[in-house]
A and B are shown apart, each in its own frame.
Chain A
Amino acid sequence: MLARREWIHGWLLLTPALILLFAFTHYPAVTTVWHSFFSTPRGQRPSTFVGLDNYDFLLADSTFWQVLSNNLWYALVTIPVSIALALMMALWVDGKLRGRGFVRMAYFAPTVLPLIAVANIWLFFYTPGFGLIDQVRGLFGLAEVNWLGNPDLVLGSVIVVAIWKEAGFFMIFYLAALQAISPSLREAASIEGAGRWTYFRRVTFPLLMPTTLFVSVNAVINSFRLVDHIFVMTEGGPDNASSLLLFYIYETAFQYWDTAYAATLTVVLLVLLSILAIGQFFLVDRRVHYR
């Protein structure tokens, strides 16, 4: 009897969280998958079951493939570069350094600033002719470059903004992890004659692996999630050269109002992210030492 009452209490306590979780996470996810098997309702035409038609369309959609490849390049560059930068910055500001507090704050500033605001600043940097970058290039007599208007350069340009935004955030995690490493380990290593590089390779880096895993999972998710600056800077253009998967989903759903196809794209994004996250944990987790 008592056990039964405890059981009821348990569920009652869980209910608020469960309701929110189901209403805003699980139910939308399931309906998204459901909607991807139906046509988009338009005017007089109600939505009908179309099976895998949406997926057939997706495979034939050249924009989708371009956006996907954009996104893969975007991820492939931003993830390693921002993590490597974060690690380097953390190692630097962890050391004895004059004005260390200021440097730390400066690195963390991009994380604090809203990406929309930041994107506007970068928009100015990139402006052809009188933007900051071109003005500096002008000092050296270099020609103007239309960073955001050239399909070959635009993806690179938005990647730079993303790296700038993310590296400082990841640095904080690395810095915290570095400060948790006992300084006596370095002393023990120095008595054995280990140089800075040996110490980093054999001690610091392995001890930072849990952080690296955490940061890289976040970096992967962010590389598919962080598209605020695309809205401000390029709107995916020119000619979809800077469009990313999530931005394409937004366009499809809220500009073309093709909700069924947007649902299909979302399913692809979810599957992609799940595979990456699971893969990361299985592959990397084995080589991570947790204290």
Chain B
Amino acid sequence: MTGVEIEARALRKSWGDTQAVDGISFTAEAGKFTVLLGPSGCGKSTTLRLIAGLEQATDGSIRIDGQDVTQRPPNERQIAMVFQSYALFPHLNVAENILFGLKVRRVPAAQRKERLDRVAALLGLSNLLERRPAQLSGGQQQRVALGRAVIAEKPICLMDEPLSNLDAKLRHEMRVELRALQRKLGLTMVYVTHDQAEAISMADRIIVMNGGRIEQAGTPGAIYDQPATAFTARFIGTPPMNLIALSRAGQSLRVPGADPVLAEARGALPDNLLLGIRPEDLHLSDQGVPVQVEAIEYLGADNLVDCRLGSQRLTARLQHRQEVAEGRTIRLRWSTEAVHLFDGLSGARLDKASWRAVEPATESINRMNAAVVDGPS
């Protein structure tokens, strides 16, 4: 069993006036792990259910392995699915649950047994086959649900927040396990989650959704390093990227109420601008931009330091050995590569052709010093 490609074209689903999925197009490549990521209500689960055939698309089409399956029932779409609630049959034991689909499809008993043995061994369920779902822990139930999907030997596996009912430790273990299983079986996996850490650690490709639309699709690295919108920038990463409003005077872009010039306009820019910088890209430096420390959150290895720069707030992730105290002024520095600029209204990323990040340590400080020498203007 090797994965096949899924393609959604201008897919739309609405209930009355509510647009759950608003004309999205994307491709989940064969044998790849694709994650649909977004906050609750963004349409990611609906998209998955449209692929599964559990919901009928209002408009648009779904192609699986090149064939239009938009009108086909779920069992003719070459898919297996793991539900958030696991959807195990409570009156059937583990073996019967896993074999349910094979029995429905009248697979011969000998083959059923062979496949059950293989799947049970693969998922470590061999000792639990006689148990009822109620007699299993959450993690074990999760495995049974997985077993039911794997034994079908379908090229596509759809997962709807499968780990959200597990505790943190188990969730981490299952993440690794799921990823390994997907690689081993070569499945095309489409995985829905609202947990960006889960998405980044498992996905080959992430599709970030918001309000029924796709915000960005790309590899975890691309999405983290080059967020296409302010929404993605805010959604990915813990803590999320700092987005601070800038005010413009001539070519200079500053934080309102603070002197340092953080960027310079080179071309046409919108009036509302957001500057993005990740907390981990901020460092202490004697030559940096002075900011006031407002609060410190200890995380162990690192501290999250909330600082005030003019009218804006930003969070820096600093090593915990560094001496920082509330109420003090510290100087922060960052590399110009770490700076992103977004349109404050549309949220779109602004091309580097139209602006330039200013090295805070050099020019702006120099300018600030110059301002001190010149006296107030």
Contacts and interface: CB of A to CB of B under 8 A. Distances in A.
Interface of A: 182, 184-185, 187-194, 198, 202-203, 206-207, 209, 289, 291
B80 A191 contact: yes
Interface string B70-86: 00011100011101110
B128 to A, nearest CB: 18
Contacts of B84: 184
B54 A190 contact: yes
Given A190-B74, A191-B81, A203-B89, A291 B134 contact: yes
Contact of A191 (B74, B90, B91, B132): B74
B210 to A, nearest CB: 25
B45 to A, nearest CB: 12
A209 B90 CA distance: 12
Interface residues of B, number: 24
B224 interface: no
B79 A191 contact: yes
Contacts of A182: 85, 87
A111 B207 CA distance: 55
12 contacts: A184-B85, A187-B81, A188-B89, A188-B148, A191-B53, A191-B54, A192-B101, A192-B152, A203-B89, A209-B91, A289-B132, A291-B134
A184 B87 contact: yes
Interface in B342-363: none
B50 to A, nearest CB: 13
By DSSP majority rule, is chain A's interface helix, strand, loop, or mixed? helix
B52 interface: yes
Given A192-B105, A193-B75, A198-B104, A207 B87 contact: no
Contact of A291 (B53, B79, B90): B90
A190 B73 contact: yes
Nearest to B105: A193
Interface in B125-140: 132, 134
Contact of A207 (B75, B91, B132): B91
Nearest to A190: B74
B100 A189 contact: yes
Given A202-B100, A291-B134, A190 B87 contact: no
Nearest to B160: A184
Interface of B: 52-54, 73-75, 79-81, 83-85, 87, 89-91, 100-101, 104-105, 132, 134, 148, 152
A249 B52 CA distance: 62
B83 to A, nearest CB: 5
Given A182-B87, A188-B83, A191-B75, 10 more contacts: A185-B87, A185-B89, A187-B83, A190-B74, A191-B54, A191-B80, A192-B101, A193-B75, A193-B104, A206-B91
Contacts of A289: 90-91, 132
Contacts of B91: 203, 206-207, 209, 289
Nearest to A203: B89
B9 to A, nearest CB: 22
B90 A188 contact: no
Contacts of A194: 100-101, 104
A191 B52 CA distance: 8
Nearest to A183: B87
B97 to A, nearest CB: 9
A188 B81 contact: yes
B90 to A, nearest CB: 6
Candidate in B80, B85, B91, B134 with the most chain A CB atoms within 10 angstroms: B91
Q: Nearest 10 A-B pairs (CB), nearest first?
A: A193-B75, A192-B101, A289-B91, A188-B87, A184-B87, A191-B74, A206-B91, A194-B104, A184-B83, A191-B81
B75 A192 contact: yes
Contacts of A206: 91
Nearest to A192: B101
Nearest to B55: A187
Contacts of B81: 187-188, 191
Contacts of B85: 182, 184
Contacts of B132: 289
A146 to B, nearest CB: 49
Nearest to B152: A192
B121 to A, nearest CB: 22
A192 B104 CA distance: 7
Contacts of B54: 187, 190-191
Contacts of A190: 54, 73-75
B75 A187 contact: no
Candidate in A188, A194, A289 with the most chain B CB atoms within 10 angstroms: A188
